[in-house]
Amino acid sequence: MRAKSLRLTNFRNYETLDLRLSPNINVFLGENAQGKTNIAEALCYAAMGRSHRTSADADLIRWDASEARIELLFERLSVENTLEFRFRRGRRRSILKNGDCLKTRELFGTFNAVLFSPEDLFLIKGAPAERRRFLDGELSQASPAYGHEMLRYARLLAQRNNLLKKIRERRADKDMLSLWDGQLAESAARIVEKRFLAVKKLNMLANLMQRRISAGRENLSLSYELYGSEGEPYSVTAELVPWYNKKLEESRELDILRGSTSVGPQRDDILLEVNGVNLRSFGSQGQQRTGVLALKLSELEFLRSETGEYPILLLDDVMSELDGTRREKLLDFIGREHIQTLLTATDAAYLPAKFIGNIFHVVSGKISI
């Protein structure tokens, strides 16, 4: 995977931008609030179909403009492709791949990128939703079918929750839940099975990375926590479907009272341990940061193994958050594996002494080499 050029029109603080990107490291230097992160955001949007900073596409449009565009030329498995996103105030966005209209569900896996930002340092000590988002983003890029299933599950969940509220208000009958429960259980089982397999693979990859970074002193383990299982046996979809049907039936009265579904993939978590100790609860700050770095590097390896090539790596102001040893390990890995990287920083001191690539200087939405 290689991003060859990026063109922005009225995107954030860029009126126009036309970038030719190096296949190696692309460094964007500048003070805060100059527009460095906006470049990483545009590429992240192209990969995920959403911004990591806002849920409203209107926020992406330059303040004095009515529309904006992201245009990306990239190479995947040695084949050139184009992606274009068009945003208009008060209207839905449009997506084009190679000039043809693309639906959101068809975007999954088209262009792959991994973002590492200061917010990712909360991946371990943050709420379970952060870890689910990490896993779902990774799986959606590796498998478009997974992304489609997540969209289907979200629709089913919203419909069931709406029905629960109607039942609570006595505007619907309880018997109607059986129809939604069966569909929800099947979708939940498919999602969780994929997550189990991914976590099993990530467990091996992340531990290898953790041992490299810690010079063999620490072992990192990942395990999937199925909400409500309490040690019950489960392994494959054939077992999970009846399990979910049973749990949904048992929780019906509570769900009606709350007006929301209390069991499902939207409640699960990933447990991380270092040398057998819960990393979130008892890990030191250094161990937690090493764990996050190991997770991000394992994400690169996971996507390579699933898609056949490394994704683009976006390092957004993260170098200042890592100590010298972790920065060195990260940059060594990037250089050794020849991963195309976009790196934003406020100080050139965070850069490697020798590297192959481009350095761009960013000032108020203007870029110079």
CATH of the domain at 352: 3.40.50.300
The pLDDT value given to residue 122 = 87
| 86 within domain boundaries | yes
Cβ atoms 344, 36 nearer than 8 A: yes
The pLDDT value given to residue 18 = 95
Which residue range forms the structural domain that includes residue 322? Answer: 1-112+311-369
The pLDDT value given to residue 347 = 87
Half-sphere exposure of residue 72: CA atoms within 13 angstroms, side-chain side: 28
Residue-wise pLDDT for 189-243, tens only, equals: 999 999 999 999 999 999 999 998 888 889 999 999 999 887 665 555 568 999 9
| 341 within domain boundaries | yes
| 260 within domain boundaries | no
Closest alpha carbon to 142 in 293, 310, 335: 310
| 77 within domain boundaries | yes
| 242 within domain boundaries | no
d(CA 301, CA 323): 23
- Low-confidence residues of the chain: pLDDT under 50: none
d(CA 32, CA 257): 48
The pLDDT value given to residue 289 = 87
The pLDDT value given to residue 36 = 94
Residue-wise pLDDT for 280-333, tens only, equals: 999 988 889 889 999 999 999 999 999 999 999 999 988 888 888 888 888 888
| 262 within domain boundaries | no
| 57 within domain boundaries | yes
Terminal-to-terminal C-alpha distance of the chain: 24
Provide the number of structural domains found in the chain.
1
| 162 within domain boundaries | no
Q: Is the pTM of this model over 0.85?
A: yes
